[in-house]
C-alpha cells in the first residue's frame, strides 16, 4: 500500500507515512530509504506515522528488522517515534518491535498521536549549534 519517506528540514526529522497494509518488503524498503536520508541529512530522528496502517509482519520478521538496520549502517544514536494505528490493530507486534529494537541498542518509543511523537522530538530539537573556535 502507499507509503512515503521524506526529510522535513524545518523539523530536522525523517517522516514516514503509511496507509493500508505493511508487509516485510515495505518495512525493508522503508528502512533503506530512511537510513539513506539519516546519513545524507545528518539527522538522528525518525517519525513513523502508522496511524492509518495495518502491520502485517510476522514476529520473526519484526525481530530481524533491527539487524537489517545495522547491516544498512543505521546510526546507533537514532531515535524512532512510532505513531500507533488508530484502530489498535496488532498493538502487541509494535510492542514486540520496540523491545527488539531496544535489545539491539536503538531508541524506539510508541505514541498514540503524532503530536505526542513530535513533542518527544521537541525535547531534542533544535539541537545546540557547536561553536566554531577560530585560530
Identify the architecture of domain 3-122 in CATH. 2-Layer Sandwich (3.30)
Tens-digit pLDDT profile for residues 10-42: 999 999 999 999 999 999 999 999 999 999 999
pLDDT value at 130 more than 80: no
Indicate yes or no: pTM above 0.95.
no
Residue boundaries of the structural domains of the chain: 3-122
pLDDT score at 66:
97
Alpha-carbon distance of 100 to 67, in angstroms, equals 9
pLDDT score at 124:
76
Amino acid at each position: 500500500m502507499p507509503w512515503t519517506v521524506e526529510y522535513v528540514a524545518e523539523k530536522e526529522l525523517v517522516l514516514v507515512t503509511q496507509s493500508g497494509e505493511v508487509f516485510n518488503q515495505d518495512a525493508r524498503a522503508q528502512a533503506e530509504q530512511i537510513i539513506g536520508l539519516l546519513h545524507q541529512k545528518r539527522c538522528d530522528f525518525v517519525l513513523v506515522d502508522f496511524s492509518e496502517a495495518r502491520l502485517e509482519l510476522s514476529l520473526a520478521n519484526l525481530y530481524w528488522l533491527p539487524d537489517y538496520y545495522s547491516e544498512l549502517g543505521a546510526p546507533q544514536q537514532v531515535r524512532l517515534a512510532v505513531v500507533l494505528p488508530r484502530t489498535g490493530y496488532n498493538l502487541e507486534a509494535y510492542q514486540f518491535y520496540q523491545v527488539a529494537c531496544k535489545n539491539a541498542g536503538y531508541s524506539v518509543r510508541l505514541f498514540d498521536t503524532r503530536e505526542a511523537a513530535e513533542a518527544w522530538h521537541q525535547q531534542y530539537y533544535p539541537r545546540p549549534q557547536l561553536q566554531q573556535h577560530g585560530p
